[in-house]
């Protein structure tokens, strides 16, 4: 490759991004961009028609993803990405609907929507970037902040028990559950590919602590060093019992694919049920 070629070289994600919106708003060293790259790679490898993919985000740093991807996308209100995605899926079951948002949005503000979409086994893929706090609004303690960690609303350390997202997802009914760090690029890509291909409710949690607020307040380093710390602390345990996956402050981090099971989706269950009741008079929907 000549120097001229290098200067002309395009961003490999260009096909998937609205380049007119770049540069993005994310802080240097934040892992959200890395997760977006894995998502783009998963789309490329899945070879799915991009016209059939929709991304829905809520509010927060990760919520900005919807504005950057070159797909049909919706930046919805705080905590409401999942009900919005549910509506899209039911209106057009051919779509591959992806919710891409943060832990505060999906599990704090929108926690109730998460558990009910998982309970119904709604056929959507949820990618949750877990940054351990409410970043966009100033680093407040969140439902995922580890016990003992400092936050702007927990200056003496957090004492609230936090959610284990994989445990919550499995208990609520999800059929695919995985957790990685942002530096597990290929693993995140593979999990997104699997989730896109899986009929049912999928959760992929990606750990990437907020470098600007959480890490600075807790004096945990910055940039690549921070991401590498969590990558090095992680232990891959596919199929691990989700009851054992709590995240302790700076402790061991269990990652892997924990759940991958078959269960009728919401639409399939509805079609089966209504056919039993109405027989030939019922026209199956979306299958």
Q: Which is nearer to ligand SF4, 192 or 213 (CB)?
A: 213
CB of 131 to ligand SF4, least distance (A): 4
Q: Please report the sign of the dihedral spanned by the C-alpha atoms of residue 80, residue 83, residue 85, residue 87.
A: negative
Q: Helix, strand or coil for residue 165?
A: helix
How far is residue 211's CA from residue 29's CA, in Å, rounded to a whole number? 7
Q: Which is nearer to ligand SF4, 117 or 135 (CB)?
A: 135
CB of 221 to ligand SF4, least distance (A): 13
CB of 159 to ligand SF4, least distance (A): 23
CB of 34 to ligand SF4, least distance (A): 11
Q: Which is nearer to ligand SF4, 46 or 212 (CB)?
A: 212
Report the half-sphere exposure of 240 (CA within 13 A, side-chain side). 18
Q: Which is nearer to ligand SF4, 26 or 107 (CB)?
A: 26
Nearest Cα neighbor of 207 from 145, 129, 153, 144 is 129
Interface residue list for ligand SF4 (CB under 6 A): 26-27, 30, 32, 61, 131, 135, 210-213
Beta-carbon contacts of 229 under 8 Å, excluding residues fewer than 6 positions away, are 220, 221
Q: Which is nearer to ligand SF4, 31 or 256 (CB)?
A: 31
DSSP string for residues in 84-134: HHHHHHHH-TTSEEEEEEEHIIIIIITHHHHHHHHHTT-S-EEEEEE-SSB
φ, ψ of residue 186 to 5 degrees: the values are -70, -35
Q: Which is nearer to ligand SF4, 183 or 213 (CB)?
A: 213
How far is residue 5's CA from residue 48's CA, in Å, rounded to a whole number? 30
Q: Which is nearer to ligand SF4, 18 or 238 (CB)?
A: 18
CB of 208 to ligand SF4, least distance (A): 8
CB of 211 to ligand SF4, least distance (A): 4
CB of 117 to ligand SF4, least distance (A): 24
Distances (CA, A) of 110 to 61, 121, 142: 15, 17, 12
**Residue ranges with strand state E in 149-223:** 176-181, 202-207
Q: Tokens standing for 16?
A: 């998937």
Nearest Cα neighbor of 55 from 112, 106, 95 is 95
């Amino acid at each position: 490759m000549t120097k001229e070629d290098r200067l002309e070289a395009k961003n490999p994600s260009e096909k998937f991004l609205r380049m007119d919106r770049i540069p993005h708003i994310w802080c240097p060293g934040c892992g959200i961009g890395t997760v977006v790259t894995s998502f783009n790679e998963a789309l490329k490898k899945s070879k799915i028609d991009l016209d059939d993919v929709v991304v829905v985000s809520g509010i927060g740093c990760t919520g900005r993803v919807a504005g950057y991807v070159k797909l049909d996308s919706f930046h919805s209100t705080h905590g409401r990405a999942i009900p919005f995605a549910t509506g899209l899926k039911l209106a057009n079951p051919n779509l591959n609907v992806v919710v891409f948002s943060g832990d505060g949005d999906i599990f704090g503000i929108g926690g109730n929507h998460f558990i009910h979409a998982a309970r119904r086994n709604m056929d959507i893929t949820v990618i949750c970037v877990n940054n351990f706090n409410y970043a966009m609004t100033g680093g407040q303690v969140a439902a995922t902040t580890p016990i003992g960690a400092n936050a702007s609303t927990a200056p003496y350390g957090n004492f609230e028990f936090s959610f284990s997202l994989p445990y919550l997802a499995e208990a609520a009914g999800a059929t695919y559950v995985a957790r990685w760090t942002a530096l597990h690029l290929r693993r995140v890509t593979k999990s997104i590919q699997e989730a896109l291909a899986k009929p049912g409710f999928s959760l992929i949690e990606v750990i990437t602590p907020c470098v600007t607020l959480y890490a600075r307040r807790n004096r945990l380093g910055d940039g690549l060093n921070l991401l590498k710390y969590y990558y090095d602390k992680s232990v891959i345990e596919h199929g691990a019992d989700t009851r054992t996956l709590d995240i302790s402050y700076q402790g061991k981090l269990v990652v892997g694919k924990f759940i991958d099971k078959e269960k009728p989706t919401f639409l399939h269950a509805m079609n089966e049920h209504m056919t039993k009741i109405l027989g030939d008079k019922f026209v199956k929907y979306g299958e």
